[in-house]
Chain A
Amino acid sequence: MVIVNELTADALVWVPWLVPVDPNRATEPQKAVLAAATSAINPFFLTLLHDPESLAARGLLYRSVMAPETGLPPADREVVAVNVSALNRCIYCVSVHSRAYLELVDGARYLNDLFSGRDAGVHLEERQAALIAFAQNMAAVPPKATVEDIKRLKQAGVSDADTILLIHTVAMFSNANRLMQPLGAATRPDPAATGA
Chain B
Amino acid sequence: MDDVISECAGISSGSWLASLRSIREDLKDHSQALHDALFRSRDDKDVPILMRAQIAQAVAVLNRCAPLTRYYQEMQDGQPALSPSEEARLAVALAHARTMARSPVAGTQESLNTLADAGFTTHGIVVISQIVALVSYQVRVILGFQLAIEFNGDR
Contact = CB atoms under 8 A, between A and B. Distances in A.
A154 B151 contact: yes
Contact of A54 (B63, B104, B130, B151): B130
A18 B122 contact: yes
Contacts of A168: 27, 141, 144
A97 to B, nearest CB: 15
A151 B122 CA distance: 44
B147 A178 contact: no
Nearest to A60: B30
B33 A57 contact: yes
B143 A138 contact: yes
Interface string A107-133: 000000000000000000000000000
B92 interface: no
A50 B44 CA distance: 13
Contact of A171 (B33, B111, B137): B137
Nearest to B61: A142
B54 interface: no
B130 A171 contact: no
A64 B133 contact: no
Interface in B18-36: 20-21, 23-24, 26-27, 30-31, 33-34, 36
Contacts of B33: 57, 60-61
B4 interface: no
A151 B140 CA distance: 17
A95 to B, nearest CB: 14
B118 interface: no
A143 B65 CA distance: 9
Interface stretch (A35-43, A75-83, A157-165, A188-196): A157-165
Counting contact residues on chain A (CB < 8 A from B), the size range is 35 or more
A2 interface: no
Interface in B112-135: 112, 122-123, 125-127, 129-130, 132-134
A145 B144 CA distance: 8
Contact of B20 (A19, A143, A160, A177): A160
16 contacts: A54-B37, A56-B37, A57-B33, A64-B26, A64-B27, A88-B105, A90-B104, A164-B148, A171-B144, A174-B133, A175-B134, A177-B104, A178-B100, A179-B130, A179-B133, A180-B104
Given A54-B134, A142-B62, 20 more contacts: A17-B109, A19-B122, A48-B126, A50-B125, A51-B126, A61-B30, A61-B33, A88-B103, A138-B140, A138-B143, A141-B103, A142-B64, A147-B147, A147-B150, A149-B147, A150-B148, A167-B141, A178-B133, A181-B104, A182-B129
